Amino acid sequence: MKIAMVSNPYVDVPPEKYGGIEQIVYLLTEGLNKRGHNVHLYATGKSKSAGKLKYLYENAVWPIDYRVGADHYSFAFEDILKQGDFDIIHCHDALALPFTRFVKNIPCVHTIHHVRDESISIIYKNFQNIHYITISDYQKQKEILLRNVKTIYHGLDIKNFIPNLHPKNYLAFLGRISKIKGLHNAITVAKKSGKELFIGGPVHWVDEKYFNEEIKPSIDNSQIKHLGDLDLKEKVCLLRNALATLFLIEWNEPFGLVMVESMMCGTPVIAFPKGSVNEIIEYGITGFIVNSLEEAVNLIKSDKLKDFDRKRCAERARDRFSHDRFISEHEQYYEEVVKAVCTH
């Protein structure tokens, strides 16, 4: 297949550090290329691709500027229209969907990467001809009713995640440092359980007040340590050596890639039952679901982490969230979409 993979102009593919969506776009693009597909990636000039890289902006534009986004997507779809021989287009930002009006002869797939947002759901409602991918069943259930939709869980390259059966005695937090990600909860649990907490993740401009007022006073570089924004190798080092990863979120996250990253390292995830958590974590096998901070503390103080089978955890994560499975499910969906469009 000849595939147009349309990413955004805000973060490089793959991201140097923070950027879950762009990491997934990279893994998908590389996997499809390896299977012989002709993939054209529309991203930033500093992105990497085994296929053909197309870009308007050399450098990623951050923070997000939707005027830049519109410029980028108009460039991408103008190029797609000029070539005219793509079998399918795969978009990863709802802002790109209005531009599909200009290429009605080419079927389009769009992955919904975010929690339901009414201002974006309006776009989906107006583009029911698009075939959608949700990243969890929870996300699909909460989104508006879509005519064509399939859930495909994210998949990771298992070679990047080496399990550790003999962890150190600290807890890990990995993610953007914002209130909804629940870092303050992780700090509370670490303090009450008497464990060190190592924190990996960036502070975005919108979260500076939260960081300065609720997080920074607790960072003593002794029990509570902030390691800053981390690249892939640094993330894996943080997770694989941790006793457990805390995912005590305060929002309904549609997937939660860090959970899978932790599980693949053999490190259990302790999480609140929000969003997709009940789909991703298998209790006692890849992690533990708790309903309160007190329950999390009691679990950490018990023998459950000491007796946890980290090898089984890693194996189960590899079975459910492998890169090969991820690519195969996308290939199958592409074929279904092309066939469905051709028969109408």
- Phi-psi category of residue 161: left, alpha or beta, with phi > 0 → left and psi -120 to 50 → alpha: beta
Cα–Cα distance measured from residue 41 to residue 26, given in angstroms and rounded to the nearest whole number: 9
Is residue 273 reached through a cis peptide bond, with omega within 30 degrees of 0 on the bond before it? Answer: no
pTM to 2 decimal places: 0.95
Domains of the chain and any CATH numbers? 2-155+322-342 (3.40.50.2000), 158-320 (3.40.50.2000)
Q: What is the pLDDT of residue 343?
A: 67
Alpha helices in the chain (DSSP H): 20-34, 66-83, 118-126, 137-142, 183-193, 208-210, 232-240, 257-264, 277-280, 293-301, 310-320, 323-342
Cα–Cα distance measured from residue 271 to residue 278, given in angstroms and rounded to the nearest whole number: 9
Backbone angles phi, psi at 164, to 5 degrees: -125, 115
Cα–Cα distance measured from residue 136 to residue 125, given in angstroms and rounded to the nearest whole number: 19
Cα separation of the two ends of the chain: 20
Q: Would you tell me how many other CB atoms lie within 10 Å of the CB of residue 323?
A: 20
Grouping H, G, I as helix, E, B as strand and the rest as coil, residue 1 is coil
Backbone angles phi, psi at 11, to 5 degrees: -140, 135
52-55/88-91 β-pairing = unpaired
* Number of alpha helices (DSSP H) and beta strands (DSSP E) in the chain: 12, 13
- Phi-psi category of residue 36: left, alpha or beta, with phi > 0 → left and psi -120 to 50 → alpha: left
10-residue mean pLDDT profile of the chain (344 residues): values are 98 91 97 98 97 97 95 98 96 98 95 96 96 98 96 96 96 97 98 98 95 97 96 96 98 97 98 98 98 98 96 98 98 96 69
Cα–Cα distance measured from residue 294 to residue 189, given in angstroms and rounded to the nearest whole number: 8
